[in-house]
Chain A
Amino acid sequence: MLKSWIPNLGRLRLIVQLLMLFLCVYGSIFVGNYMADKLSRALPALSCAYDQMNGGYCVLIRAQHTLHHQIGMAIARAGEVTFSMVLPLLFILGSFFAFFFVLGKAFCGWVCPLGTLQELAGRIGRRFGIGVRRVEPGDLGPVSRVRPVKWLILVGLVFLLPLLTGLGVTPHTLGNPYCDVCPARIATTLLTGNADQLALSLGDGWSFGLGAAANWLIGFVLVGALALRLPFCRICPLLAFNAIFQRLSPARLVKPSRASCGSCRVCTTACPMDIPEISQAEGKKAYNEDCTLCGRCAEYCPQDGVIRIQWANMALFRSSREYYKARARNELPDGTIKPVTKGQSDV
C-alpha cells in the first residue's frame, strides 16, 4: 500500500513539498492565527511574512529589519557599533540555524513554497510537451554566469541597502528591498486570495520600481518554469544564505571518489539546477553552492552507492542501478514524462 503511494524518493519529496506548501501558506488554519510566532520567524525557506495565514517567516525579512531598524539606526544615533546592536542579528542567526541544522539545504529542495510552485509549473510544462531548457553551454549558457547573481542580491538587497537605509544614506523605502522584489511575496499571498501584493505602490519611484521588478519576476518565473527548471532558485538570495552554512549542517550530499564515475553525466541532467560539478567533481566540490538537496542526482545515478544523501554518517538514500532502472522507466532524468506505450498500458 505504502509502496504504491510512495514508490520512489521523488514521490516522497512531492508529498513533503505539498505538505510544507500548505503549512507555509495556510498554516494558521490549523494552529491558530499567531502560528508564525510559534513556529519561527527565521525559517530557511521563502515563507512570506506578508501572507497573513502562513506558518512561519522567512529569515531574510528579519535580517533586513534588524539591519535597518536596529543596527543601522543605532549606528546613526550613537556613531558606533556595540555588542547590543549585533545581538539581535546573532539571535536571528541562532534561530535560523536551529532549523537549518536539521535539514540543511533540504529547506530549499523540500520545504520552500516558491520552489514547490516552480516545480509544479515545470510538471505542467512537461505534461504539455514543452521541452526542458538547460543552463549549460549550447543552450542558455554556462551556469557559472548566473551563480554570482544570488550573492549580489544577498549582499546588496538583504545586507547592504537595509543597513544604508538605517544609517540614513538611502531612502526609507529601501528598508527591506529584497522583500519588495521577492516573487514569493506575490505568489504566496495570491494563493490566499489576496491580490494586495500584486498592486504597485504609486507613492514614490523606489516603491514603484521595486514592486514592478517583483511583478516582472513572478510573471517571468511562472512562464519560464514551464521550460526552465527552478528559474528563480538560481538567483535566490536565500539559496546563497543557506550556502554559507551548508557545511555546518549534518544533512548533505556525499559523492566519494569513484573511478567509474564521470562519464555518463546523467546526474547533471537530472539536477534541476543544472550543476555540472555533481558529475565532474567529487568530495566537497560535488556538494555545490547551488545544490538544494532534492536528491534527484542520487535517484538517477546508475552506479551503486556513488551518490548519497546523508545525515551525519547515516545514509538516508544511496544511488543504485536497480532503483535507477525503475525510476527512469516512467520519467527521464530531465523530468520529461515517458509516453505510455501500448504494452505498458495493457499491463
Chain B
Amino acid sequence: MRFLLIFALLLGAAGSLWAQHDEHQRPDGERGSGRGGGGRGGWTSQPLLFLERGDDRTSTTLRMRGSEASSVTVFGPAGGQREFQFVDGRAKIEVADAETGNYHWVQVRDEKEQHVGIATTVWYSSLSGPSPSRLLETEHSELEIVPAPLPREHANYRESEKWRFAVRYKGQPLSGQRLLLETENSSRSTFVTDAQGVATVLFPRDFDGKSGDSSHGARLRAGFVLSTEYLSDGRHFVTAFNASYGEDADRKHSLGWGAVFGVFGMLSALPLLRRRKRIASKEQSC
C-alpha cells in the first residue's frame, strides 16, 4: 500500500514537471472533434466537407469546399432527414431525427446539366441511439461510397490500416469500379471493387516528417477523400467520401517502454508469491 502511494506520487510529480512545458489551451481546430477530414483544402480537386466543433451534441457547423451546392442534407440513423442552407460556404446542421443517435450521413449534391457531383461524410454526434447499419444500407444518392463498416467510437481510420468501402449505383453493388484515394499528406492510390462491390482500402503510411494540430500527445490527423465516377444514361456521376485518418499507433508511442513498466509491475508482485511466514487465520473445522 505504502509502495503504491509512493509510486503514484513519483509518477504524478514526474508527469507534472513534464507537462508544464507544453501546457496550453487545446486549439479549436477544424479537426478537433469531428471526423470530417482535415481543414485545409488544395490537396484534391474533389469536394470536401469539414465538420467543426459543435456547441452541443445536437448541432455542429459544416464547411464545404470545392462544390457550389446551396444546401446539405443530414440523414439520421433512424431514417429521418433534414436539409440546411449554406451561407458563405457554411451551414449549421442539426440532428435529423427526433429520436436522434450517434451516426449521421451528411451529403451535398451539386447537379449541373449532365454532371452530378456528390460529396459525403459522416458526423458522429455522440448521442445514444441505434447502430448505423440501417443508415448505411439506405440509398441516399445514385452513386455512393459507403464505409463497411464505420469506425466505432474510440476508433479511427489510421495509416497502414485496411478498411473496406462499398460502392453502389442505385443501391446495387458496382464490381470492378475504380476508387481513388487522396490524402492531405499528398498520397494518391487506386483500388478496385470486388464482385460484391467492396474495395479494401489501405491507408498509406505518409505521416513521416509531418507536423499538424496534435495537442497534448494526441495523434496527428489528416484528411483523406475517396472518389469514384460512373457514366450512366448519358449522365456523369462523381461521388466523394471524405473523413480523417490518424498516425499509426507506433508513432510517438513506445511499446518498449510499455513492456518495461509491465515487467516492472510483474517484478513488484513477485514478493506475493513467497509463502507467508505465519498463518493468521486459524480455520477451525466445523
Contacts and interface: CB of A to CB of B under 8 A. Distances in A.
A binds B: yes
Interface of A: 32-38, 41, 49-50, 52, 57, 70, 91, 95, 125, 130-131, 133-134, 136-139, 141, 145-146, 149, 168, 171-173, 186, 195-196, 198-213, 215-224, 226-228, 231, 263-266, 268-269, 302-303, 333
Interface of B: 1, 4, 7-8, 11-12, 14-19, 22-23, 25-26, 57, 102, 128-133, 149-150, 152-155, 214-218, 249-250, 252-255, 257-259, 261-270, 272-273, 275-276, 278-281, 283-286
A302 B1 CA distance: 34
A266 B262 contact: no
A133 B283 contact: no
Contacts, number: 202
Given A195-B255, A203-B252, A204-B22, A52 B283 contact: no
Contacts of B4: 149
- What are the 9 tightest A-B residue pairs by CB atom distance, in nearest-first order? A203-B217, A205-B18, A138-B280, A219-B265, A209-B15, A34-B131, A224-B269, A215-B261, A223-B269
A243 B131 CA distance: 31
Contacts of B17: 205
A138 B276 CA distance: 9
A215 B261 CA distance: 5
A264 B284 contact: yes
Contact of A200 (B8, B18, B214, B257): B257
B111 to A, nearest CB: 32
B19 A205 contact: yes
| Residue of B11, B17, B218 with most chain A CB atoms under a 10 A cut-off | B11
Contact of B154 (A50, A146, A173, A208): A50
Contacts of A228: 272
Contact of A131 (B152, B262, B267, B275): B275
B276 to A, nearest CB: 5
Contacts of A57: 153
B265 A215 contact: yes
Contacts of B273: 125, 130, 223, 226-227
A33 to B, nearest CB: 4
Contacts of A37: 102, 128-131, 152
20 contacts: A33-B150, A33-B152, A36-B153, A134-B281, A138-B280, A172-B216, A196-B249, A198-B255, A199-B250, A199-B253, A205-B14, A205-B16, A207-B217, A209-B12, A209-B15, A212-B257, A215-B261, A223-B265, A226-B273, A265-B283
